[in-house]
Structure 1
Amino acid sequence: MSCLQDWPEPVVRVQSLSESGISAIPDRYIKPPSERPSIKSDHHQLGAGEGGVNIPLIDLGSLLDNLDDKTTLNRIWEACRDWGFFQIVNHGVSPDLMHRTQELWRDFFHLPLEMKQVYSNSPKTYEGYGSRLGVEKGAFLDWGDYFFLHYLPPELCDQNKWPAFPESCREVTQEYGIQLVRLCKVLMKILSVNLGLQEQYLQNTFGGEDIGACMRVNFYPKCPQPDLTLGLSSHSDPGGMTILLADDRVPGLQVRRGDDWVTVKPVPHAFIVNIGDQIQVLSNAEYKSVEHRVIANPVQERLSFAFFYNPKSDLLIQPAKELVTSDRPALYPPMTFDEYRIYIRTKGPRGKSQVESLKSPSPC
């Protein structure tokens, strides 16, 4: 990542823009017309999410100790192939811990700006307090701030770079990470078994116990012109698997469904799970990493926590040999996660252009 220098322009905090009382957003945040959210469509999908169209909701409880529940396994299999997203309840993570994590980080983003600026990040690692992705000068920006922190491997996890205030933030975030890693290991077993592979296949391919994990706390301030911008542009996640703790009071995540965008209605105390590009590659596209984005809200701020469970950065990731046949050849070349993620860290979120560009051409 040493090729990435500092930000090409002075960093502006979106929260500060929002709190200044502006009635129109700066031009840098106005998306091209083709990328803007459709208010009519979004309103319809929000209503549908209350009882109609929504990502699958799955009770994970029966699979926490063993993988004998074929009905639930099959529901996850279908969700991974069809949606690339699903919500889970009864997942084994403490609801009280989830709530405390949310409240502490909300308090962080409402600290005075000078206290947050101590943790300002750079594109060299993205670790810390940030307000943009990508280093292209003059790029369109998203309406959101964030805090990015490393969790695994241990040598990358420097808690001194995590917020010292609120006072218990580091301790609670550490416990949250412990419980999320435990949950991810269960999900990796499920995903492996559903592919017809050994339980530990995906975990071992990621590096066994020597994997990567990091978290991005997203803060989306109120926006006076939500029809012109996005909280986070359309993208598929470059890593392995993402566990999202969403704000169940303020929907904002949208998942691409064909030519439409479905606004996810989060269930209280649930996690949203989505397949990342690395697992799409390993599954030889049996599982889909699907485009998603975040819409802005004119009246309420929104907070979410994306926990990324990734391969060890220097391991080659390629389609599992058990899933490669003469009828279905390997769709992707071997590549390390370090090589792969340089794309989004340089260019910012760009739909599924990275993983699709790697596909081998179909034989004539």
Structure 2
Amino acid sequence: MSITESHPPALRSLINDGEAPVEPVLIQDKDIQIPVIDLERLDKEILTQACKELGIFRLENHGIPLTLTSRLQEISESLFRLPSENKREMFAGVKSPISYFSGTGALSRSGDALKRDPSHVNLVEGLNVPLSKLPASKISCDDDDSQEAKLESFRVLMEEYGRHMSRIAVSMFEAMVQTLNLELSDEQKSEYLSESTGNIRVYRYTPSSGEALGLEVHTDSSVIAIIKEDEVGGLQIMKGEEWFRVTPVANTLIINLGDMMQVISDDEYKSVKHRVKVEKSSKTERHSVCYFVFPKRESVIKSSKYKPFTYAEFEAQVQADVKSHGTKIGLPRFTPKSPLFL
């Protein structure tokens, strides 16, 4: 089987012809060194500066065993290499909360790709993993070499990895709350960053014969996102009006601030605008594992900059905009003085 056969049909012509959509602002050749936070000796001055100026930083000494991340990358790559139809049939046929998607990172609550105009197709496919549903979804299998056995191994690894993600997310959120001098009760903290909402997406990006996007320009809707990427690179962030490449560093994590953190901080902290660019010169696929965590769906988030809203309302508006406009609008929808305010 050729590597192309493992990709969905809708992406194959884009890979071969280089006809995937390209954002108009792709002119950049600059690298950026994002701030580094040591989780064992957390420097709150560096954290505050990173959150205010960029909305992104690198985390080292995070405590995740290298054996776990190596095994997770190995088994996720083997799942992605399956023929395209096999992947779709496997995830549709096995009783599992893990879902497969392609062509976009915009998903419904159930983990299905939102239907969009073909001009918004991105060179990405992935697995969506709602962590809270994993413990009750053990997959029984008789053959240790079967696809079901591989998926069960993936589920077990995701559970373990998810526990590390939850630990790190809580630690970083607590630190951010302190740097902002927010007086939040334990209940408020657990509502603003609800571990039960933790969700992991495993992405595969494939280079094309032309310049293209793996994920289009966006901000994350989460409180924070924690990214484990391989050595291939492709993540880019916007600073001012310029794009900068974030160079991979082995055995570190990248933490992005999302829209909900920007609201919670009253716009003190920044939700970083970013994208994944598929480099034409690269011959290697890019893989990444991203953890997202959100507020409780029905908790009201208040800020002097935005009208009060629940995360459920924000999510519904984002999905409505993606369906009708082809892209996310996000926080401007919730700014009372904005012409986009509904």
TM range (shorter): 0.7 to 0.9
Which residue in 2 is equivalent to 1:171?
156
Does residue 356 (structure 1) correspond to residue 327 (structure 2)? The answer is no
Structure 2 matches for 1:114-263, cutoff 5 A? 114-119=85-90, 128-131=99-102, 132=104, 133=106, 134-152=114-132, 154=133, 158=137, 164-165=149-150, 168-198=153-183, 200=186, 203-206=189-192, 211-226=196-211, 229-247=212-230, 249-263=231-245
Q: Deviations over 1:180-222 (max 9, x none)?
A: 111111111101101112474763332666x311011111012
How many residues are aligned here? 310
The alpha carbon displacement at 1:257 in A equals: 0.6
Any conservation in 2 of the 1:18–1:221 contact (CA below 8 Å)? no
Q: Deviations over 1:284-304 (max 9, x none)?
A: 111110110000133211001
Shift in CA distance, 164/310, structure 1 to aligned 2, threshold 3 Å: farther
Any conservation in 2 of the 1:240–1:279 contact (CA below 8 Å)? yes
Secondary structure (helix, strand or coil) at the match of 2:232 reads coil
Does residue 283 (structure 1) correspond to residue 262 (structure 2)? The answer is no
Secondary structure (helix, strand or coil) at the match of 1:115 reads helix
Quick one: distance in 1 between partners of 2:239 and 2:136? 36
Which residue in 2 is equivalent to 1:31?
22
The alpha carbon displacement at 1:112 in A equals: 2.7
| Percent of residue pairs bearing the same amino acid type | 27
Shift in CA distance, 244/155, structure 1 to aligned 2, threshold 3 Å: closer
Secondary structure (helix, strand or coil) at the match of 1:230 reads strand
Any conservation in 1 of the 2:126–2:202 contact (CA below 8 Å)? yes
Which residue in 2 is equivalent to 1:331?
305
**Equivalent of 1:83, from 50, 54, 60?**
54
Structure 2 matches for 1:292-303, cutoff 5 A? 292-298=274-280, 299-303=283-287
Quick one: distance in 2 between partners of 1:208 and 1:256? 28
- TM-score under structure 1 length normalisation: 0.76
> Alignment RMSD, CA only?
3.0
Shift in CA distance, 89/149, structure 1 to aligned 2, threshold 3 Å: same
Return 5+ residue gaps in structure 2 as ranges.
107-113, 140-146
The alpha carbon displacement at 1:265 in A equals: 0.8
Quick one: distance in 2 between partners of 1:225 and 1:62? 43
- TM-score under structure 2 length normalisation: 0.81
Which residue in 2 is equivalent to 1:73?
44
The alpha carbon displacement at 1:25 in A equals: 3.4
Shift in CA distance, 244/361, structure 1 to aligned 2, threshold 3 Å: same
Shift in CA distance, 303/54, structure 1 to aligned 2, threshold 3 Å: same
Which residue in 2 is equivalent to 1:324?
none
The alpha carbon displacement at 1:136 in A equals: 3.3
Quick one: distance in 1 between partners of 2:328 and 2:11? 30
Quick one: distance in 2 between partners of 1:333 and 1:276? 18
Any conservation in 2 of the 1:146–1:218 contact (CA below 8 Å)? yes
Any conservation in 2 of the 1:242–1:273 contact (CA below 8 Å)? yes
Shift in CA distance, 22/196, structure 1 to aligned 2, threshold 3 Å: closer
Quick one: distance in 2 between partners of 1:90 and 1:19? 39
Which residue in 1 is equivalent to 2:33?
54
Shift in CA distance, 31/182, structure 1 to aligned 2, threshold 3 Å: same
Which residue in 2 is equivalent to 1:94?
65
